[in-house]
């Protein structure tokens, strides 16, 4: 079956702009999580959604937000982009809500 699909794969934005990233989970998976990966900080948890409800949020500023739709697809939004937001943003889905996460290949965001 199809894996976790993230679009777009690459994105270049200017400081101050906003960006929306999309994630389609594995069919049947209702839990979707987002992570930020940078060389300095590694993999850091952003937030997790289950059945359209945010169940947990990591330690990121309010500029980072997300949502999940009724078909389990998820989007994350970053407003007022900063240079430090340049990272690989990874989406992961799970049927068990917390265990056995499958990751997508990520969206590489570059802020200039």
Partner 1 sequence: QQQVKQSPQSLIVQKGGISIINCAYENTAFDYFPWYQQFPGKGPALLIAIRPDVSEKKEGRFTISFNKSAKQFSLHIMDSQPGDSATYFCAASTNSGYALNFGKGTSLLVTP
* Binding flag, residue 104, partner 1 (CB under 8 A): yes
Q: Give the helix ranges, DSSP H, for 6-62.
A: none
Q: Give the helix ranges, DSSP H, for 1-112.
A: none
The region of 12-20, 64-72, 73-81, 100-108 touching partner 1 under the rule CB under 8 A is 100-108
DSSP secondary structure letter of residue 26: P
* Binding flag, residue 106, partner 1 (CB under 8 A): yes
Query: Is residue 96 classed as helix, strand or coil in its secondary structure?
Result: coil
Judge contact between 26 and 2, C-beta under 8 A. yes
**What minimum distance in Å lies between the beta carbon of 17 and partner 1?**
25
Place of tokens 């069919």: 27
Residues 27-66 that bind partner 1 (CB under 8 A): 31, 33, 35, 42-45, 48, 50, 55-56, 58
Interacting residue ranges for partner 1, rule: CB under 8 A: 4, 31, 33, 35, 42-45, 48, 50, 55-56, 58, 90, 92, 97-106
């Amino acid at each position: 079956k199809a894996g976790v699909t993230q679009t777009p794969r690459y994105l270049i934005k200017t400081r101050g702009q906003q960006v929306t990233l999309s994630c389609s989970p594995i069919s049947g998976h209702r839990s979707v999580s987002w992570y930020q990966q940078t060389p300095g900080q590694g993999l850091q948890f952003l937030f997790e959604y289950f059945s359209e409800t945010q169940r947990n949020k990591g330690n990121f500023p309010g500029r980072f937000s997300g949502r999940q739709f009724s078909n389990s697809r998820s989007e994350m939004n970053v407003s007022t982009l900063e240079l430090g937001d340049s990272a690989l943003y990874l989406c992961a889905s799970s049927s068990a809500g917390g265990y056995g996460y499958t990751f997508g290949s990520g969206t590489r965001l570059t802020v200039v």
